Amino acid sequence: MAVDLTRDAVFYAKFTTPKVVLDRTGPLTLTFQVNGAKVGAGTYDADRAWEFRAPLRPEWLARQPVEFGFDVDKSYVAEDGVKLTVLLEAIGFERAGR
Say whether pLDDT at 3 is over 60: no
Provide the whole-model pTM.
0.88
User: Which is nearest to 18 in space by CA: 42, 47, 43?
Assistant: 47
pLDDT in tens, 13-31: 999 999 999 999 999 999 9
> Does residue 4 register a pLDDT over 70?
no
Q: State which amino acid sits at residue 9.
A: A
30-74 tens-digit pLDDT: 999 999 999 999 999 999 999 999 999 888 888 889 999 999 999
Query: What total number of domains does the chain contain?
Result: 1
Half-sphere exposure of 50 (CA within 13 A, CB side): 20
Alpha-carbon 77 to chain mean position: 20
Domain that includes residue 73, residue range? 9-95
Specify the CATH number for the domain of residue 91. 2.60.40
Strand ranges (DSSP E) for the chain? 9-17, 28-34, 37-44, 48-55, 68-72, 76-77, 83-84, 87-95
